């Protein structure tokens, strides 16, 4: 049986990266740049006013006061003030936020500090200095400057910056395609009414959501019944994806057929079972065959995860093993999320023979990070996780923890 760290290292050793593809900005959110991006212009492309007011020469004010002739008006989007027309001593130009500064002017006085009448503006400002309320040309970015490096994750600010420098299409590491299969004779889909002895399939929809949240593209392939033929048929289709996730059928029961079926399909087992609670039966293997389509370029392969059937086990194993694989393929670092140190907000006694991840609620406040274990009935208790946004890591053994003690927490970005 592998430790959690050993299992993570084994998975990482089988994760390659995709060849870059070019996408529009609309499809780039959350992806990772595959090339440096440089600006095709200065930002801003001209010196501009940062607020509504009057563009002036700071030296025209004495003690923060002056009465100046209004020489014109410039609004945002208007062509710049003619180059051969320089603001003269004793003049001011009415200017709007974002409008280009007229030559000769070096400051903007807020409109709230002025009064106007008869073509003149009176300024009553405590202090005026050159550059006040002005952003100079190229202050943000110079033409030709690298604005984003290879490996940058594209969040909303990066998407905006790419648009500003004229990059409507960018080279990125594409999202892996993840096939998802639920297994079991006892499960039915969410829209069906369970018969006696049946339950609805929570794992399928939940894994689709987890995969999407992790930045990959899910493909739900339905429920495979506990027969070799049905499992083979669906798994064969799933192996056309870059990652295949099956939930259920990986323990030691008579109907836990997944490992055997995967071996028959050419999937090489890398490990089966991890010293972990919940999630001990987790299975991981790879297909390394030219007959199986895959876009992983480092070593053609499909990664296959057999997750336990209980839903909380699914979540824990996904966060510990599947999400890091997706992050590594995407080029995100670190692939494995580090544990967060938090202070227990209440006493907690527990006993376990394995490292345990207990659903918990993280809170961030002025005093730092605190965490509260939620009431939890074990790996089938999915409802408890709706109150959680992380999992406290409890080492094996018999422990009596007190409020104020420090613990390690796996934070989830839900």
Q: What is the pLDDT of residues 304-358, one digit of tens each?
A: 999 999 999 999 999 999 999 999 999 998 999 899 999 999 999 999 999 999 9
Average pLDDT for 211-240? 95
Please report the pLDDT score of residue 295 as a whole number. Answer: 44
For residue 365, the model assigns a pLDDT of 85
What residue ranges do the domains of the chain occupy? 4-18+174-330, 21-43+140-173, 48-135, 340-411
More confident residue, 78 or 376: 376
Rounded to 5°, angle at Cα 331 from 326 and 336: 55
Residues 5-30 have a mean pLDDT of 94
pLDDT of 253 over the 80 cut = no
Q: Note the pLDDT of residue 289.
A: 55
pLDDT band at 148 (very low <50, low <70, confident <90, very high): very high
Q: What is the pLDDT of residue 274?
A: 97
The CATH class for the domain spanning 48-135 reads mainly beta
Spatial distance between the Cα atoms of 202 and 221, rounded to a whole number of angstroms? 14
- Higher per-residue pLDDT: 17 or 122: 122
Per-residue pLDDT, 413: 84
Fold of 4-18+174-330: Molybdenum Cofactor Biosythetic Enzyme; Chain A (3.40.980)
CATH topology of domain 21-43+140-173: Molybdopterin biosynthesis moea protein, domain 2 (3.90.105)
């Amino acid at each position: 049986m592998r430790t959690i760290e050993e299992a993570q290292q084994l998975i990482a050793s089988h994760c390659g990266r995709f060849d870059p593809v070019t996408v529009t900005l609309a499809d780039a959110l959350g992806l990772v740049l595959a090339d440096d991006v440089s600006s095709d212009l200065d930002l801003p492309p001209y010196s501009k006013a940062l607020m509504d007011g009057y563009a002036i020469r700071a030296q025209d004010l004495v003690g923060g006061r002056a009465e100046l002739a209004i020489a014109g008006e410039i609004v945002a989007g208007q062509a710049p003030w003619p180059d051969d027309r320089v603001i003269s001593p004793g003049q001011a130009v009415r200017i709007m936020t974002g409008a280009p500064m007229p030559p000769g002017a070096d400051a903007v006085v807020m409109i709230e500090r002025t009064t106007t009448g008869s073509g003149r503006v009176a300024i009553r400002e405590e202090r005026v200095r050159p550059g006040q309320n002005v952003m100079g040309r190229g202050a943000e970015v110079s033409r030709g400057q690298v604005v984003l490096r290879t490996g940058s994750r594209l969040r909303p600010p990066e998407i905006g910056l790419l648009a500003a420098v004229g990059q409507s299409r960018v080279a990125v590491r594409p999202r892996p395609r993840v096939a998802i299969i639920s297994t079991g004779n006892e499960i039915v889909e969410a829209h069906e009414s369970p018969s006696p002895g049946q339950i609805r399939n929570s794992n399928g929809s939940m894994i689709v959501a987890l995969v999407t949240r992790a930045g990959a593209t899910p493909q739900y392939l339905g429920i495979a019944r506990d027969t070799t033929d049905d499992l083979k048929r669906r798994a064969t289709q799933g192996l056309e994806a870059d990652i295949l996730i099956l939930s259920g059928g990986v323990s030691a029961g008579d109907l836990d057929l997944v490992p055997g079926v995967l071996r028959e399909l050419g999937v090489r087992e890398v490990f089966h079972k991890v010293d972990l609670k919940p999630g001990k039966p987790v299975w991981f293997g790879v297909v390394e065959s030219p007959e199986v389509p895959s876009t992983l370029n480092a070593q053609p392969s499909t990664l296959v995860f057999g997750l336990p059937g209980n839903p909380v086990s699914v979540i824990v194993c996904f966060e510990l093993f599947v999400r890091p694989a997706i992050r590594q393929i995407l080029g995100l670092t670190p692939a494995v999320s580090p544990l967060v140190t938090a202070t227990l907000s209440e006493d907690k006694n527990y006993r376990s023979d394995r490292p345990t991840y207990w659903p918990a609620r993280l809170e961030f406040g002025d005093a730092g990070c605190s965490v509260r274990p939620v009431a939890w009935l074990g790996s089938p208790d999915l409802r408890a996780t709706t109150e959680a946004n992380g999992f406290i890591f409890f080492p094996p053994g018999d422990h009596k923890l007190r409020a104020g003690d420090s613990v390690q927490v796996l934070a989830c970005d839900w």
